[in-house]
Chain A
């Protein structure tokens, strides 16, 4: 089975600074892939290149078999992208925000209505759909962000720090939601995060990026064996710190 995301030597330079340096990565169907790295490591830049929102300066990428530099629309039709700190039209209600997104995705009106209701129910916002988004709490906004992605029935979700700024309860709800989407609907998920404990809980594989380079790739168990020795328990936090100190 071909990989959902595949990159070869993907590189992005800003002037003399290399934000992403020769990234080669494969993400397979139905995986939940955790993308880790300190601030400024190049995670967001990588994601932007995968969506065709930024041109790579070197290397190639394929998302769902399509080159994002050539046919970004084809990818955007099937991929739900949650930007870090996603925003909404605060003067519209949650439903109206969703309706706008549905129209931009050219869903027919009746189908859109159906999708909006299912999406709201999935993220647990059906009671709040007619409130102005300006009055939403941070957790509700983040869930509305996921609902916006679901209305186009994506094959792949790319979530940039989906749990940023959520309280423990909100974080848990968000993680459960992601897991259930992956399990019940077979959606592949790529998420970037700084909260290692949560990543360890839900991700089947992780990649650690430091200063634009991918320094580790594999399941938490594999990485633990490689880095911490055979008898150490799988602790992502420790693995991460090792890699961080080495580079």
Chain B
């Protein structure tokens, strides 16, 4: 298994598409953090420094979007790009029959590939965050406190779990579909659905289950919203964004943003509130993290079962 893992790692880091995507993410991340950093610095001028300023680097929207939003958006692509051709590429190049006729367990093939993907993701995401932290230190000049570092670490773990989910899904499709194009399309389709249309879909589900007959009946509306919220949690993208916003924004208690507030407004409001301590935040995030991991495991388990039973022919 380690042999396969090692080869796959080498493949990932020398593959051009991975490098391109990583550079792209890195570039955008640097720019958006820089913009966030400048706006944070301006906002802080002559002001008493509120707590958790450092995390603002990641959550404050620069000109367009915050870094967290950006990673939530592009992370899945990273996973998909590493996984979508894991098995069917070996099939197409007719190396799979050869591989499984070596003295290794068949599951070593898929374990090794998945592990290599997770390691690559971990390295990529961690180095990204480290780089950005360093840049934030230089431009804003605030040093993150222990708690903030703790939060970043949790954020890192959740992000790796999230990208791993997409990796697992892409590997599953690479087993199910013989053609590379089909498997990448299937993964991207699911990604688009979960990221963009889930709100729409959960509204549909909610309207079907708890229709709002009377638009003045608040109870009905609340019930409807509850179902919609629950349904949207089926999407790993929603799980992820909820988890990360809780962990990175200590002032968030509830998970849904009822009122949109500007950054300054929030900063001033925060003086009258106490931040949620880290362990409490982790407690809030825990179910999301476990759900994400469970989803990843489901994908992986399915891949495993299907792959073990699949006929290996060179044609």
Which of A78-86, A199-207, A222-230 participates in binding chain B? A78-86
Report the Cα distance A100→B315, complex, angstroms. 22
User: What are the residues of chain B within 8 A of A160 when measuring CB–CB?
Assistant: 314
Q: From known contacts A86-B94, A100-B3, infer whether A76 and B315 are also in contact, taking CB-CB under 8 Å.
A: no
Q: CA–CA, A85 to B96, complex, Å?
A: 12
* Interface hit among B97-105, B122-130, B258-266: B97-105
Within 8 A of B (CB), among A56-93: 73, 76-77, 81, 83-90
Identity of the chain B residue whose Cβ is nearest the Cβ of A75 in the assembled complex = B103
Nearest opposing residue in chain B for A73, CB measure: B103
Report Cα–Cα, A53/B4, bound state, in Å.
19
Q: How far is the CA of A84 from the CA of B102 in the complex (A)?
A: 16
B273 contacts A by Cβ under 8 Å: no
Q: Which residues of B contact A90 (CB under 8 A)?
A: 93
Check A87 against B103 for contact (C-beta < 8 Å).
no
* CB-based contact A104/B95 at 8 Å: no
B93–A76 touching, CB < 8 Å: no
Q: Which of B3, B93, B97 contacts A89 (CB 8 A)?
A: B93
Are B314 and A87 interface neighbours, CB within 8 A?
yes
CB of B311 closer than 8 Å to a CB of A: yes
A105 CB–B CB distance under 8 Å: yes
Residues of chain A from 9 to 55 with CB closer than 8 A to chain B in the complex: 44, 48, 51, 53-54
The reply to whether B97 and A83 form a contact with Cβ atoms under 8 Å apart is yes
Which residue on chain A has the smallest CB distance to residue B97? A83
Instruction: Please tell me the size bucket of the interface on B.
Output: 20 to 34
B98 to A87, Cβ gap below 8 A? Answer: yes
> Does B226 count as interface, using CB distance less than 8 angstroms?
no
B103 lies within 8 A of A105 (CB):
yes
Specify which chain B residues have a CB less than 8 angstroms from the CB of A105 in the assembled complex: 102-103
B314 / chain A contacts, CB cutoff of 8 Å: 83-87, 160
Residue in B93, B97, B100, B312 whose CB lies within 8 Å of A88: B93
A177 within 8 A of B: no
- Does the CB pair B93–A73 fall under 8 Å? no
Contacts of A44 in B (CB 8 A): 313
B253 contacts which chain A residues (CB < 8 A)? Answer: none
Query: Using an 8 Å CB-CB cutoff, how does the interface string of B98-117 with A read, 1 for contact, 0 for none?
Result: 11111111000000000000
Contacts of A73 in B (CB 8 A): 103-105
B95 touches A85 (CB 8 A): no
Q: Is the CB of A84 within 8 A of B3?
A: no
Which of A85, A89, A100, A106 has a CB less than 8 Å from the CB of B103?
A106
> A104: which B residues are within 8 A, CB to CB?
3-4, 99, 102-104
CB distance from A231 to the nearest CB of B (A): 42
List residues 110-158 of chain A with CB under 8 A from any CB of chain B: 148
Residue in chain B with minimal CB distance to A54: B311
Q: How far, in angstroms, from A1 to B94 measured CA to CA in the complex?
A: 37
In the assembled complex, the CB of A130 is this many whole angstroms from the nearest CB of chain B, namely 17
Closest to B6 in A: A103
Q: How far is A85 from B95 in the complex, measured between Cα atoms in Å?
A: 10
Q: Complex: how many Å from CA A148 to CA B314?
A: 17
With A53-B312, A100-B3 known to touch, is A87 a contact of B94 (CB < 8 Å)?
yes
Which of A53, A100, A106 is the one whose CB lies under 8 Å from B7?
Answer: A100
B3 touches A103 (CB 8 A): yes
A239: Cβ under 8 A from any B Cβ: no
| A215 contacts the other chain (CB 8 A) | no
Chain B CB within 8 A of A101 CB = yes
Residues of A within 8 Å of B7, CB to CB, are 100
Query: Least Cβ distance of A209 to chain B in Å?
Result: 17
Complex alpha-carbon distance, A85 and B98, angstroms: 10
Closest to A160 in B: B314
The docked-state distance in angstroms from the alpha carbon of A48 to that of B6 is 28
**Cβ–Cβ contact B103 & A77, under 8 A:** yes
Bound CA–CA A113/B73 (angstroms): 46
CB distance from A41 to the nearest CB of B (A): 15
When distances are taken between beta carbons in the complex, the residues of chain B under 8 Å from A101 are 98, 102
Of chain B, the residue at the smallest CB distance from A47 is B101
Residues 1-57 of B at the A interface (beta carbon under 8 Å): 3-4, 6-7
Closest CB in chain A relative to B253 CB, distance in Å: 52
Which of A87, A89, A160 is the most central at the interface, judged by chain B CB atoms within 10 Å of its CB? Answer: A87
A104 to B98 CA separation, bound complex (whole angstroms): 11
Interface centre among A86, A101, A104 (most CB of B within 10 A): A104
A83 touching B93, Cβ below 8 Å: no
| Residue of A with least CB distance to B309 | A55
Sample of 28 A–B contacts (CB below 8 Å): A44-B313, A48-B312, A51-B101, A54-B311, A73-B103, A73-B104, A73-B105, A76-B101, A76-B102, A81-B98, A81-B101, A83-B98, A84-B314, A85-B315, A86-B94, A86-B97, A86-B314, A87-B94, A89-B93, A89-B95, A90-B93, A101-B102, A103-B3, A104-B4, A104-B99, A105-B103, A148-B98, A160-B314
Give chain B's interface residues, CB within 8 Å of chain A.
3-4, 6-7, 93-95, 97-105, 311-315
Please name 12 further chain A to chain B contacts, defined as beta carbons within 8 Å, in addition to the given A44-B313, A83-B94, A87-B95, sorted by A numbering. A53-B101, A76-B103, A83-B97, A83-B98, A86-B314, A87-B93, A87-B314, A88-B93, A89-B95, A103-B6, A104-B103, A104-B104
